[in-house]
Amino acid sequence: MWPTLLSLLSLGFCVSLRIWAAVGAYEKPSLSAWPSPVVPLGQTVTLHCHSRSPFTIFRLFKRNGTSLPELQGHHINTFTLGPVTRAHAGSYTCSRGYRSPHSDPLQIVVTGVFTKPAISAHPGPLMKAGGHVTLRCHSPLLLDKFILQQGNSTGHFQRHRETFTGGHAAADFFIGPMTLGSVGTYRCYGSLSRSPYEWSAPSDPMDIIITGLSKKPFLSAQVGPVVRSGENVTLLCSSKSAFDQFHLLREGENLGRPLAGGRGPRGALQAEFPLGPGTPAHSGAYSCYGSFTRSPYMWSEPSDPLLLSVTGSTISTCPSPMDPHTTEEAGLLQERSIALSIVLGLAIAFTSTSIFLAALFCHWCSTPNHLAIMEGEPQEDRAVSGVDSPAEDVIYAHLNLGTLSERLNTPTPLSPMHPFPEPSAYEEFNVKKDRAEP
């Protein structure tokens, strides 16, 4: 009996294999990529060809491109590509052979071929339910296509470029009305129409968050909203709701430091955000949100804004010699002091020279012979005019008695008119008498 049973089982198994093979010969397989069909340069990707027929040997084909040597061999249903290059980018299919049905094409995209574009959200990444947001992807390169990707999904949107002034290319993606399915992390890529499977590096991630789904928390400052420069600043975000994560924003900008909440002294959940020693850069309006780890893109309403002001200084104002800014300022002050000393020295020298020249001129003017020369000119004028006056009746002649006889006997050159130390005498002449009796 056992041989008969074994024979029947073997026959049934062979018939099943033939049936599966016959079905598989006309069934279209499916092709998938792990971990993703979007592969950065230098990474690897594994392609799986699936079919209901067991023990089937598949072949992998590249469409619209050159055949790769490593794909020519026979495999069971798994193919590994990598490290990928630009030559691996393209569309792939798999089948049992050339005449068997091929799978739907799978696009393998290689990223990192161009530099990454930038992404921005307008009016902002935090939106209320039902709102609209515009994601703008722009690049300094003249790319003619942009791709927006949400999360790690393979689905994406495409837009042709819009050229701005200056040669920059950009595309706008409109998202809304905002629902729970619209939130998440977005990235964008740039590409060229002639190379649709070669993309740029991904942009920085942009988180789109929906707010207002729960009550707002309360934000406070540990030492008060007004602190002096140098004091440690810590902000407290607390709530009666059972949030397990808190987020701090300054003037609408996410600081990117979500913290888990703990129990405060009054039993409320709270998180401490230490900002370190206060500086004027910490001044501004702050707000905080609460959320749950299981829903990271769904936040509460924002807390009331807290206006933090950092003023003054609690540290010594004496400059440190090791501070580069202080050293630079000291050098500038030293240069200014040297320049001021030079100006003062020139001013003192000019003033001293002016005083010396003035004194010399006064001394020259006060000398008797110069006075005599200066006073002799009007007397000659008066003698020429021929007008007699009472003051002109008497003339005094200065006679040097000691040297008069010598001068009469020995001719001597004219000497300068200086006072003589020898005794002098004055002789009075009557001018009128001399004129009457020639």
pLDDT digits (tens, 9 = 90+) for 28-47: 899 999 999 999 999 999 99
Choose the weakest-confidence range: 14-28, 212-226, 240-254, 259-273. 14-28
pLDDT of residue 402: 44
How far apart, in whole angstroms, are the C-alpha atoms of residue 77 and residue 42? 23
- Model confidence pLDDT, tens digit, residues 68-99: 545 544 456 888 998 999 999 999 988 876 67
Q: Is the pLDDT of residue 261 over 90?
A: no
pLDDT band for position 324 (50/70/90)? Answer: very low
Name the DSSP letter for residue 84.
-
Of 38, 32, 49, 40, the C-alpha closest to 84 is 40
**Distance between CA atoms of 44 and 103, rounded to whole angstroms?**
21
Spatial separation of the C-alpha atoms in residues 126 and 124, rounded to whole Å: 6
By the 8 A CB rule, do 38 and 154 touch?
Answer: yes
What is the Cα gyration radius of the chain? Answer: 54
Residues 62, 106: Cα–Cα separation, whole Å: 9
262-266 mean pLDDT: 62
Antiparallel, parallel or unpaired: β 59-63 and 38-40: unpaired
**Residues near 139 by Cβ (< 8 Å), separated by ≥ 6?**
114, 115, 117, 118, 146, 168, 169, 170, 190, 200
Check pLDDT > 60 for residue 8: no
Cβ neighbours of 105 (radius 10 Å): 15
Sheet holding 118-122, edge to edge: 118-122, 133-139, 169-175, 162-163
For 339, the token pair is 């320049």
Residue pair 172/135 in contact (Cβ under 8 Å)? The answer is yes
Predicted confidence at residue 159, as pLDDT, reads 74
Contact 112, 37 (CB under 8 A): no
Token representation of residue 233: 């600043």
DSSP 364-404: HHH-HHHHHHHHHHHHHHHHHHT---GGGSEEEEEEETTTH
**Predicted pLDDT at 398:** 45
More confident residue, 274 or 7: 274
d(Cα 364, Cα 374) in Å, to the nearest integer?
Answer: 12
Q: Phi and psi (nearest 5°) for 40?
A: -70, 155
> Tokens 């701090």 identify what position?
248
The DSSP code for 328 is H
The residue whose two tokens read 């959320």 is: 291
Adjacent-strand bridge partners of 133 = 175
Angle at 111 between CA 110 and CA 115, to 5 degrees: 145
The mean of the pLDDT values for the chain is 74
- Tell me which of 49-63, 110-124, 158-172, 421-435 is least confident: 421-435
Bridge-based pairing of strands 306-311 and 218-221 is: unpaired
pTM: 0.61
86 vs 91: CA distance, rounded Å: 13
Rounded Cα gap, residues 77 and 347, in angstroms: 97
Say if residue 152's pLDDT is above 60.
Answer: yes
Residue that wins the pLDDT comparison between 118 and 270: 118
**Residue 349's pLDDT band (cuts 50, 70, 90):** confident
Domains of the chain plus CATH, in order, are 27-112 (2.60.40.10), 115-210 (2.60.40.10), 213-311 (2.60.40.10), 369-373+391-436 (no CATH)
